[in-house]
Structure 1
Amino acid sequence: MDSVNKEEVSEEVEIDLGDSSDPEEFEIEEEPKTLWKAQPSVEEEESIHTSTLVEISDTKPLITSRDPRGVNDCLKVTFEDVIAEPVSVRSGDRVWIWSHALFEVCRVWIYTIITVLLAIPLSIITGFLFATLNCFHIWMASPCIQCVLIGASWLQSFWSIVLRVVVDPLIMSAGRSCSGFSIHLAKE
Structure 2
Amino acid sequence: MMKGHDSEEVEIDLEDSSDPDEYDNGEEPETLWRAPPALEEEDNIHTSTLVEISDTKPLINVRDPRGINDCLKVSFEDVIAEPVSVRSGDRVWIWSNALFEVSRIWIYRIVTVLLAIPISIISGLLFAILSCFHIWMVGPCSKCILIGTRWLQSLWSLVLDVIVRPFLTSAGKCCGGFSIHMAKE
Same fold (TM over 0.5): yes
TM-score where L is the length of structure 2: 0.69
Q: Percent identity?
A: 68
Q: Matches of residues 81-160 of structure 1 in structure 2 within 5 Å?
A: 81-160=78-157
Per-residue Cα deviation, 1:93-126 (whole angstroms, up to 9, x for no partner): 1110111011011101111111111110010011
Per-residue Cα deviation, 1:66-87 (whole angstroms, up to 9, x for no partner): 1111111111111111111122
Shift of 1:62: 3.0
Q: Does 1:67 align with 2:64?
A: yes
Q: Secondary structure at the match of 1:159?
A: helix
Q: Which of 153, 157, 161 matches 2:158? A: 161
Shift of 1:33: 7.5
TM-score where L is the length of structure 1: 0.68
Name structure 1 gaps, 5 residues minimum.
Answer: 1-21, 37-52
Moved over 3 A (4+): 32-36
Give the number of the structure whose residues are more often helix, by fraction: 1
Structure 1 Cα separation of the partners of residues 46 and 156 of structure 2? 69
Structure 1 counterpart of 2:64, one-letter code: D
Structure 2 counterpart of 1:148, one-letter code: I
Q: Does 1:173 align with 2:166?
A: no
Structure 1 Cα separation of the partners of residues 143 and 65 of structure 2? 35
Shift of 1:89: 1.7
Structure 2 counterpart of 1:133, one-letter code: L
Structure 2 Cα separation of the partners of residues 62 and 137 of structure 1? 27
CA RMSD of aligned residues (A): 2.8
**How many residues matched?**
142
